[in-house]
Homo-oligomer: A and B are copies of this chain.
Amino acid sequence: MSAPAADLRSLRLEIEEFNAEYAAVLDAGRVADWPAFFSEDAVYRITGRENWDAKLPVGLVYCEGIGMLRDRALAIAKTTMFAPRYLLHQISNTRVLSVDPASVVSAEANYALFETLVDERTTLQQVGRYHDRFIREDGRLRLKERHCVYDSLIIDTALIYPV
């Protein structure tokens, strides 16, 4: 970790702010605005911890490049049938792991995703960890990689929106 401590703290706070905005967009159901948090060549994946630990590459969601992110956003918004629901993210335990010479920032954060269906109680959709690599474009952080690795291996029915 080459960066001085003050920079790392500042990065941590910036990532927290990034994640808060990211979650606010998803929690509001504004899925069309979600790809804007990623760089052109981004990889986005949601996968269970059993796959992550065993280095199995599969993703519940597996997107290579912002085109696939936009396609998913489009499909969820326009073609996919599912019951209405509210989602809410709690993101915490943000950690900056390293900044490489090319200024790519590796970071992690824990998330809990709560889901509420009409006439039902709020449930814990999943808990997991973001394994991220950020780059900076025009002064703003963008995700070059986000692997959402969930502990909650058994999904209840369906995971509709990105995490």
- Residues of A whose CB lies within 8 Å of any CB of B are 9, 12-13, 17, 19-21, 23-24, 27, 49, 86-95, 108, 110, 112, 114, 116, 118-122, 124, 126-129, 151-154, 156
| Extra pairs beyond A88-B129, A88-B151, A112-B114 (9, CB < 8 Å) | A12-B17, A17-B95, A23-B110, A24-B108, A90-B112, A114-B127, A114-B151, A122-B124, A124-B124
A112-B114, A122-B127 known; A19 vs B93 contact (CB < 8 Å): yes
The interface residues of chain B lying within 8 Å CB-to-CB of A116 are 127, 151-153
* Nearest CB in chain B: distance from A150 CB, A: 9
How many identical chains are in the complex?
Answer: 3
13 A-B pairs with CB atoms under 8 Å apart are A9-B13, A17-B95, A24-B95, A24-B108, A49-B86, A88-B128, A89-B110, A90-B93, A116-B153, A119-B154, A120-B154, A121-B152, A121-B154
* Nearest CB in chain B: distance from A46 CB, A: 15
Q: How far is the CA of A17 from the CA of B56 in the complex (A)?
A: 30
The interface residues of chain B lying within 8 Å CB-to-CB of A128 are 88
Closest to A14 in B: B9
Q: How far is the CA of A21 from the CA of B19 in the complex (A)?
A: 19
Nearest 8 A/B pairs, CB to CB: A86-B151, A122-B152, A116-B151, A20-B93, A114-B127, A90-B92, A20-B95, A88-B127
Contact B88 A90 (CB under 8 A): no
